[in-house]
Amino acid sequence: MERKIAFISDFGESFYVGQVKGVIKSINPNAEIIDITHNVPKFNIKAGQFVLYSSYKYFPKGTIFLVVIDPGVGSNRKAIAIESDNYYFVGPDNGLFGFLKNYKAYEIEIPKNASYTFHARDVFAPFCAKLSKGYNIEDIAKPIEDIIKLDFREVKVFENYIIGEIVFVDDFGNLITNIEFNENFKYVEINEIKISKKVRTYSDAKKGELVFLKGSYEFLEISIVEGNASKVLNVSFGEKVKVYI
């Protein structure tokens, strides 16, 4: 059974993306490779996890997710593959897949001739190509007990407020937090600025207004209507956000 491959990385516009695809196609010429994005901020595991978390459920069952945000490449971190009820996930064991539940984990053997700095091409791509051709995962990888846990959704909850952070900034400059939205939210503070305008959609406010709302992935987002909140507020990834209930 042929399986699709969905690719996420922090490679940007570099030729690394093409090389990874070339290896996959060399092993499985019929492989269908879908680029989710290669513009994850460099080395930002939480942002990569957010992209994966927000994307995978929209893909057909059996899809293989190749996710490479790998600041520890060449170290003693494991190369892993995950089998869940409906999908496969392949990449470094650095927390990227820590939000997953009900899975089987496997370690991928790293070939002796693999580059120390390009496991996406030399380790993960060949493995994904074999999976895409219908190989059984247990025949090409070794079962392991556990993986490194990381969950970008972890926040600090107090009696009347929650503290989270910006985990992604989209191309419009909208600030996406790791705080799951609640209709009882009263106002938001970020970078010593109070935002009290809560809207359902951008058209509920005037151009240039600073607002907060439930984004399309159920998280609290901070936006400027037809503007760029990241630039105007001078904030980016990791900035703390406090929301009052």
41 Cβ neighbours under 8 A, 6+ residues apart: 10, 47, 237
Domain identity same for 101 and 140: yes
CATH number of the domain encompassing residue 234: 2.40.30.90
- What tokens does 99 get? 């939000």
In sequence order, the 6+-apart residues with CB closer than 8 A to the CB of 158 are: none
| Model pLDDT, residue 207 | 96
Query: Both 10 and 103 in a single domain?
Result: yes
**Residue 149 covered by a domain:** no
Q: Which domain holds residue 187?
A: 156-244
Residue 50 sits in the same domain as residue 9: yes
Task: Give the pairing type, strands 156-157 and 5-9.
Answer: unpaired
pTM exceeds cut of 0.85: yes
Report how far residue 73's alpha carbon sits from residue 119's, in angstroms, rounded to the nearest whole number: 7
Q: Is the pLDDT at 35 greater than 90, yes or no?
A: yes
Nearest CA-CA partner of 208 in 225, 189, 223, 231:
225
pLDDT recorded at residue 76: 94
Q: Percent of the chain beyond pLDDT 90?
A: 99
Asked if residue 216 has pLDDT above 90, the reply is: yes
Residues 124 and 199 reside in one and the same domain: no
Distant-in-sequence, close-in-space partners of 240: CB < 8 Å, separation ≥ 6 = 163, 164, 165, 190
Please determine, for residue 1, whether its predicted confidence score (pLDDT) is greater than 90.
no
Mean pLDDT of 106-120: 97
Query: Are 129 and 189 within one domain?
Result: no
The mean pLDDT value for 194-200 works out to 97
pLDDT tens figures, 80-100: 999 999 999 999 999 999 999
Mark whether 139 and 162 lie in a shared domain: no
Q: In this predicted structure, what is the pLDDT of residue 25? A: 98
- Kind and range of the H or E run holding 219: strand 219-224
What is the average per-residue pLDDT within 48-63? 97
Let me know if residue 20 belongs to a domain: yes
Residue at a domain's end among 144, 174, 190: 144
Looking at residue 233, what is its pLDDT? 95
Looking at residue 2, what is its pLDDT? 82
Domain end residue (candidates: 124, 144, 164): 144
Sorted by sequence, the CB contacts under 8 Å of residue 10 that are 6+ apart come out as 38, 39, 40, 41, 42, 43, 44, 48, 68, 69
Q: Is 145 exposed, middle or buried (0-12, 13-18, 19+ CB in 10 A)?
A: exposed
The maximal CA–CA distance of the chain, rounded, in angstroms, is 59
Q: Are 230 and 236 in contact (CB under 8 A)?
A: yes
User: How do residues 5-23 score in pLDDT, each as one tens digit?
Assistant: 999 999 999 999 999 999 9
72 in a domain, yes or no? yes
In a domain, 101, yes or no: yes
- Where does a domain end: 89, 116, 144? 144
- When divided into structural domains, the chain yields a total of 2
> Is the pLDDT assigned to residue 49 strictly greater than 90?
yes
| Interacting residues of 218 by C-beta distance below 8 A, sequence separation 6+ | 180, 181
User: Does residue 229 lie in a domain region?
Assistant: yes
Whether residue 80 sits in one domain with residue 177: no
